[in-house]
Amino acid sequence: MGALDEEHFDAELENRVKLGCLELGGEEEPDALAIQDAVKVLLQGLGEDVNREGLKKTPLRVAKAFLEGTRGYRQYVKDIVQGALFPEAGLDKEIGHAGGAGGLVIVRDLNLFSYCESCLLPFQVKCHVGYVPSGQRVVGLSKLSRVSDVFAKRLQDPQRLADEIASALQNGIKPAGVAVVLQCLHIQFPVSLTSNHEDWAKIQVTSGSGAFKDEKAGVWGDFLSLLKFRGINIHKSCTRESTGKSWCPSRSPLSSTTCSGLGSLNPGMVTAVTSIIRSLGEDPSRKELVGTPGHFVKWLMNFQNTNIPMKLNGCTIDKVDSLPNGEVNGEMEQLCSELNLPFWSQCEHHLLPFHGSVHIGYFHREGLSPSVKSLLQSIVHFYGFKLQVQERLTRQIAETVSSLLGGDVMVVVEAYHTCMISRGIEKFGSSTATIAVLGQFSTDSVARAKFLDSISEANGG
């Protein structure tokens, strides 16, 4: 556990600027303009046509998402807590601790997101904040959430995020102590054919100030016990320091090995990402950010637009018209399905990841290859690793599978979109589902229902 040097925040707390998200008119904001220009360079580096429908407004959307997601650089704690401290009587020390003098206060399960300073990909944060009031005063509970969000909305590292929240609250409301626990979830980097939607980098970090500075202090036991009431089990042994692993997967040895196949990085793309970081209000030469442009470009290059033909079961085919192992000439026998095929993709509207599962239903016929699952996974993988929208991804998978398996196909894609949590409504836990039906499935409601029921049963529904 730890907290940053208080002097770092004393200066910040003295500076006051207008609180609130930067209002973006779009094309006229200088920072937004610089980011838009940089995004166009990135799209071109991916082999995309920046003028094609679907990408025309992507530079502006990405600029808004980045500026919204880093608005914390333009917010200050003093603006939030000033006027939000209220008098509240406490107990005499000889009697006990409560109210505005020594009573522990906790706000649990704050859903935040932040941009990882190592790779610029968003990561999810479950934040728990507690403090011990002093001076016969308490702070409005919503302010704990707002202060936490100020520091989350910056390029961050989990431990520094926890430290900054703790130190800012300690300096802003002058309590007897502040405790912060963060449970963070980061998309794995890089993704691969064998990845699935459970493949995350996870870490929990803690920070304490004042009464919480001592890890063995009894007040920490009270804090963690109150978290357990909600089924939140925090194990101090599971911090980053104890695991010895890098938080961001982009810094892992596996990432370096896998990404080496991408070849040398496009220097124009790296320069463009550096420009984005500078436009957000950060210093690209800060040691934690020096490698960030390269890491982000490596991620993007997984989704480059190429003319490489699809490879299915080791057979390269430019025109898909039959299975590699024989023609499909038999009669329909039974409804079959391949469920929970994992996929990863990149939203072409915001250049943010989305991921999930693909479920494919088809009718078994004589002569059908026994290696159907690997074939279908290859198709999912091929269309997933592009700049995409979920509706198009669903259609493309369905059309390709239909040409291979006889025309009667149903595809369901379930996905979690990072853009749903890192911009706009910031809705955690939301998911989307899309369906494509071809051939018999388009007219046979019984077959559709049976296939959908199989998905529910396979996932414990």
Lowest mean pLDDT among 70-74, 187-191, 454-458: 187-191
Name the residue among 6, 105, 45, 104 with its Cα closest to residue 305.
45
Lowest mean pLDDT among 43-47, 145-149, 242-246, 301-305: 242-246
How far apart, in Å, are the Cα atoms of 267 and each of 5, 45, 209, 297, 298? 37, 10, 43, 10, 12
Q: What is the 8-class DSSP label of residue 114?
A: E
Residue found under tokens 């090995």: 257
Query: H or E stretch including 201?
Result: strand 200-210
In the numeric block, which tokens belong to residue 67? 């500026």
Mean pLDDT of 307-329: 49
- Taking the whole predicted model, whether its pTM rises above 0.85 is answered as no
Strand order in the sheet with 409-417: 387-388, 334-347, 353-364, 409-417, 432-438
* β-pairing verdict for 155-156 and 177-187: unpaired
The pLDDT of residue 359 is above 90: yes
**pLDDT at position 91, please?**
58
Lowest mean pLDDT among 42-56, 194-208, 303-317, 319-333: 319-333
Rg, Å, the chain Cα set: 26
Q: What is the mean pLDDT of the chain?
A: 82
**pLDDT at position 76, please?**
86
**pLDDT at position 86, please?**
79
Tens of pLDDT along 124-174?
A: 999 999 999 988 888 898 999 999 999 999 999 999 999 999 999 999 989
Where do the H-state alpha helices sit in 23-157?
30-45, 58-69, 77-81, 141-152
**pLDDT at position 10, please?**
44
**pLDDT at position 234, please?**
80
Where do the H-state alpha helices sit in 358-406?
372-384, 390-405
Greater pLDDT, 320 or 274: 274
The pLDDT of residue 97 is above 70: no
